């Protein structure tokens, strides 16, 4: 239900790309898909939205507690728990199990639009985020080749949202809870990892556009050391 945001995006600027690290390892993958599987299975067996929602949230809470006990970073688990809680809350409130996936659909629509608009106005979000990570700040916008690769990478992320929606929307409209649960597995972190890998390939084609180091302005540098006041031998200085 969630993805490792900036932490995952950092894989796109690494010297060597690691697919496992980009999705948070096996643990991250399990934490991402298990609540969805549990919700789908429990609802299919019991036809109880309440039981399925509680089971999914319970699994997410257990994952968070396990990270706390093992002293692992808790941010991914917190993000996942929030996503599951929102989905479960919507399903419970509306009385429709299919709405467990509604928040994910809305998120993909919103992210797809935001990423597309940012690319069209030449402020690609991938460039904004990676520029900060790489120390480029916004200097990359003065380098046309760098702008192009960031635009291309941003369109990849638009494509990710479109691929997900191509599966999610028809299944949602046909009230296919099991189908949406199954589709969420490959369309989640695995697809996210593939997009990160392609982003890594694209961004590496053009050198990083770091801003030039500041140079002292004329007249603002350190003053020259005064010359020694040496009086030639035999010459008297006026008193």
How far apart CA 147 and CA 195 sit, in angstroms, is: 18
Mean pLDDT of the chain: 85
Provide the pLDDT for residue 107.
94
Each as own residue / partner, the long-range contacts of residues 132-135 (CB below 8 Å, 24 or more positions apart, any chain) are: 133/6, 133/9, 133/10, 133/13, 134/13, 134/208, 134/210, 135/208, 135/210
Does residue 1 register a pLDDT over 60?
no
In the DSSP assignment, the letter for residue 23 is T
Residue 189, pLDDT score: 87
Q: Which two tokens stand for residue 9?
A: 């995006």
Say how far apart CA 129 and CA 137 lie, in whole Å. Answer: 9
**Domains of the chain: which residue ranges?**
5-203
Give tens-digit pLDDT for 141-175.
Answer: 999 999 999 999 999 999 999 999 999 999 999 99
Q: For residue range 96-125, what is the model confidence (pLDDT) as tens digits?
A: 999 999 999 999 999 999 999 999 999 999
Asked if residue 194 lies in contact with residue 23, where contact means CB atoms within 8 angstroms, the answer is no
Taking residues 7-18, report their average pLDDT: 67
């Amino acid at each position: 239900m969630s993805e490792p945001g900036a932490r995952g995006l950092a894989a796109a600027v690494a010297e060597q790309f690691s697919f496992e690290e980009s999705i948070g390892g096996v643990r991250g993958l399990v934490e991402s898909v298990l609540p969805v599987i549990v919700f789908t299975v429990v609802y299919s067996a019991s036809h109880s939205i309440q039981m399925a929602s509680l089971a999914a949230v319970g699994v997410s809470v257990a994952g968070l507690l396990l990270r706390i006990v093992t002293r692992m970073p808790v941010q991914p688990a917190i993000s996942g728990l929030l996503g599951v809680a929102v989905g479960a809350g919507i399903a419970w409130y509306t009385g429709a199990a299919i709405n467990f996936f509604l928040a994910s659909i809305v998120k993909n629509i919103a992210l797809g639009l935001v990423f597309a608009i940012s690319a069209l106005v030449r402020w690609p979000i991938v460039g904004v985020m990676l520029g900060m990570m790489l120390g480029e700040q916004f200097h990359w916008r003065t380098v046309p080749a760098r702008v192009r690769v960031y635009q291309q990478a941003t369109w990849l992320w638009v494509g990710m949202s479109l691929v997900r929606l191509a599966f999610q929307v028809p299944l949602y409209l046909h009230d296919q809870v099991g189908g949406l649960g199954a589709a969420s597995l490959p369309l989640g972190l695995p697809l996210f990892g593939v997009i990160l890998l392609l982003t890594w390939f694209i961004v590496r084609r053009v050198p990083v556009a770091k801003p030039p180091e500041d140079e002292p302005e004329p007249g603002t540098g350190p003053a020259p050391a005064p010359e020694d006041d040496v009086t030639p031998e035999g010459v008297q200085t006026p008193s």
